[in-house]
Structure 1
């Protein structure tokens, strides 16, 4: 007999407030206990995979410090190569999520993780811009389904009021990757240059690609597709989780299930516009932080790595704190808009400070850290929005569609920054532009998304 069934007879004792309250407490405690177990099982492993994905995606920003001189690439070539990753994202995210819904998460995650690890290692063979562009595109194509796939996967396990915290915990792994990735990249590039006749940047791709391949094989045996298949949950715990999901689904009311209607759904396009603006800022910081740190006076790859690590640690804390606070307050609009505005203002301040001769470097680095923390803190809260409007296959395709189209910002922003730096020798003009776009994301949420309560609202 399930925990909920065991406590339900208490309701038959009469309209006694204390009895009803005690029953509700038992149900709440059972649910909290079950979800602690779910979270400890799912989130650390998914977080490790996201760390590996993030390292293999953004290590190009550190490799750039040596790679451009070694291969005689321009800043514009780097910017296009960094950004073309997201074209692969654009074309393959939706098919990947449709496949995940059909064959399950563990097979999908295994395929994705092994393939991106192999492509990461193949980047050691790059010698021309065309090869660079091709491998970056393939890296994006193979990694495309991971992020939206995990977002969809977590909706199979967590009800609405628990998702922002789960999303925030998972997504904070990208910040943790920044904390780890900077020092690791700096050490590899500094200490292994010349080993077996290879450059430090080549060893960076090899050493960070191997763990992804191994983790992909492990994922197949470790992951569980849905709660009713979890042998690591007791029968009572399964029932608690399934009941929570069923109640949440009923409370959300009628939502769109037909994925074919997504392209004409104005709510979906509003969400795409919002996330596009936010990702302009996020991708700019992701791929240009090492360059920004170098431009303010830190040349050593190890120093660049440690400074980036501190900034990403602040980003990780912001994601977890803001996601948990959004869940507790059951509020989305201002928990998204506040950090986005803070991130945009800090980025504009960074551009201003970098243009002031003689200003201590620490001032620019503080502005950079606040820009990164604000931007990253808004991301997990955003992902509360799609499932307010979409369910079933529409949610599976919708999450991928929103993420894939929005991630075109990841293609455009780094490329434009590269063109601006080539033309002016500075990144400040690009930072002002991106700061404005990030603040626009907050304006779109405030103006276009009504206050969200426990029921579906219109955008």
Structure 2
């Protein structure tokens, strides 16, 4: 990006531009947050189902850990192809397909009878969801300039703690209140009730989303022209800057490693938090659900504050490094709690808030580092690293808990170490490359 272009984007938005992007945000952001909220609920609600499902189906921690993790195998292999298809057919149609298919598979998880069916449905859920999150990121880069993405990404990532704030208590209540209602167990009702809204939202995608400003009938010709101008200023044409070219870029692979560390840390916590709270003496499923909402409630405040600060000061590196280190510290504190519920909860709160905030800031970087022609494939490749982290962490925790003395502690300390390495990798980026 030229110095002249950088200067253009260092200025504040005009009043007209501010009003334009406010209109765009009201059209898209609440709906996208709702979609992402249910995507996350359908991905991790198995962590709550496990509390009674494992007993009913005689699942060991290793079986649960592998089932939770195998989701990310299908997700990993289909991530890049899915996003390249999205680039061709458009976000509106492809995100609709993704949501309808994953909602149906999530509902079908109520039919699990044993290990094999559990593994198959978790794998298919990952196949169905592949491409959703990078597709959303790609969609947002079409509609928003880089200097607004800190706040936009903060709003989007807030869907994760909001999903925990809502999904945890609801999941715990479903397990207790609907057990044996209509001949179904509580965990069967959980998958049915929490999966069906994704099907409805997938249908709604066709009516709410627009692939480009040119397709938005609610924008005036002047608004469309202004958005084209902003995109041209931020993404001047650079010959030869393709996805294949991006694969040779060290920056792409560094971003991929950082996101692997965030995925391992966050999903390691997400898939085991209800179990850790239960083992610390949290009590009933409903109580565990309510307690699990506390880290997510705290995260919402921190994510929004960090997103505002990151955009206000045009600073990305430290806004990414500091939350990662806080997340690692939180995991260590949870391990060192000695089984005390309050200390476990404090550690988990720091861990969830730190890593969630880091994820929000992280997604401001790819649009600055990658060229426009490499963006769709590059975003998918980076997000596929989350799949590797999401597979490795929950599975390793489950296996170590079953086969190694104090294996849970070893696994969580390892997650903290991986996060520290991710923070170190962020510091290898030059400030001028990412602080915009």
TM-score, normalised to structure 2, is: 0.94
The alpha-carbon distance between structure 1 residues 454 and 340, as it changes in their structure 2 partners (threshold 3 A), is closer
State which drifts further: 280-289 or 26-35: 26-35
1:319 to 303, 311, 321: 303
The answer to whether structure 1 residue 133 and structure 2 residue 119 are counterparts is yes
Question: 2-side partners of 1:256 and 1:432: how far apart?
Answer: 43
Other-structure match for 2:195: 209
CA positional deviation for 1:26: 10
> What SS does structure 2 have at the residue aligned with 1:407?
helix
State which drifts further: 45-54 or 229-238: 229-238
> What SS does structure 2 have at the residue aligned with 1:233?
coil
1:433 to 403, 409, 414: 414
Other-structure match for 1:415: 395
The answer to whether structure 1 residue 298 and structure 2 residue 278 are counterparts is no
The alpha-carbon distance between structure 1 residues 455 and 273, as it changes in their structure 2 partners (threshold 3 A), is closer
What RMSD over aligned residues (CA atoms) do the two structures have, in Å? Answer: 1.9
Structure 2 regions of 5+ residues with no counterpart?
1-9
CA positional deviation for 1:405: 2.9
CA positional deviation for 1:269: 1.1
> What SS does structure 1 have at the residue aligned with 2:431?
coil
2:249 to 265, 268, 280: 265
The answer to whether structure 1 residue 285 and structure 2 residue 269 are counterparts is yes
When Rg is computed on C-alpha atoms for both structures, the one with the higher figure is 1
Q: Deviations over 1:359-384 (max 9, x none)?
A: x4212211110111001100011112
State which drifts further: 260-269 or 102-111: 260-269
> What SS does structure 1 have at the residue aligned with 2:143?
coil
Other-structure match for 2:343: 363
Q: Deviations over 1:18-42 (max 9, x none)?
A: xxxxxx9996111111011111111
Question: 2-side partners of 1:371 and 1:27: how far apart?
Answer: 35
CA contact (8 A) 1:351 1:432 kept: yes
Question: 1-side partners of 2:69 and 2:209: how far apart?
Answer: 31
Q: Deviations over 1:104-139 (max 9, x none)?
A: 111001100000000001111111211111111110
2:354 to 374, 383, 390: 374
Question: 2-side partners of 1:27 and 1:438: how far apart?
Answer: 35
Alignment map for 1:89-100 (pairs within 5 Å): 89-100=75-86
Question: 2-side partners of 1:88 and 1:26: how far apart?
Answer: 43
Question: 1-side partners of 2:283 and 2:390: how far apart?
Answer: 26
Alignment map for 1:54-133 (pairs within 5 Å): 54-133=40-119
Question: 1-side partners of 2:40 and 2:358: how far apart?
Answer: 18
The answer to whether structure 1 residue 353 and structure 2 residue 337 are counterparts is yes
CA positional deviation for 1:427: 2.3
Question: 2-side partners of 1:455 and 1:331: how far apart?
Answer: 5
Other-structure match for 1:219: 205
CA positional deviation for 1:316: 2.2
State which drifts further: 397-406 or 198-207: 397-406
> What SS does structure 2 have at the residue aligned with 1:452?
helix
Structure 1 regions of 5+ residues with no counterpart?
1-23
Question: 1-side partners of 2:318 and 2:239: how far apart?
Answer: 24
CA positional deviation for 1:141: 0.8
Question: 1-side partners of 2:435 and 2:271: how far apart?
Answer: 38
Question: 1-side partners of 2:13 and 2:305: how far apart?
Answer: 26
CA contact (8 A) 1:332 1:452 kept: no
Other-structure match for 1:403: 383
State which drifts further: 402-411 or 227-236: 227-236
> What SS does structure 1 have at the residue aligned with 2:87?
helix
The answer to whether structure 1 residue 188 and structure 2 residue 174 are counterparts is yes
Other-structure match for 2:5: none
Question: 2-side partners of 1:256 and 1:351: how far apart?
Answer: 49
1:394 to 374, 382, 385: 374
Alignment map for 1:226-245 (pairs within 5 Å): 226-245=212-231
CA positional deviation for 1:239: 2.8
1:159 to 107, 127, 145: 145
Runs of 4+ in 1 over 6 A off after TM superposition: 24-27
CA contact (8 A) 1:341 1:439 kept: yes
Alignment map for 1:248-259 (pairs within 5 Å): 248-250=234-236, 254=238, 257-259=241-243
The alpha-carbon distance between structure 1 residues 302 and 454, as it changes in their structure 2 partners (threshold 3 A), is closer
CA positional deviation for 1:143: 0.6
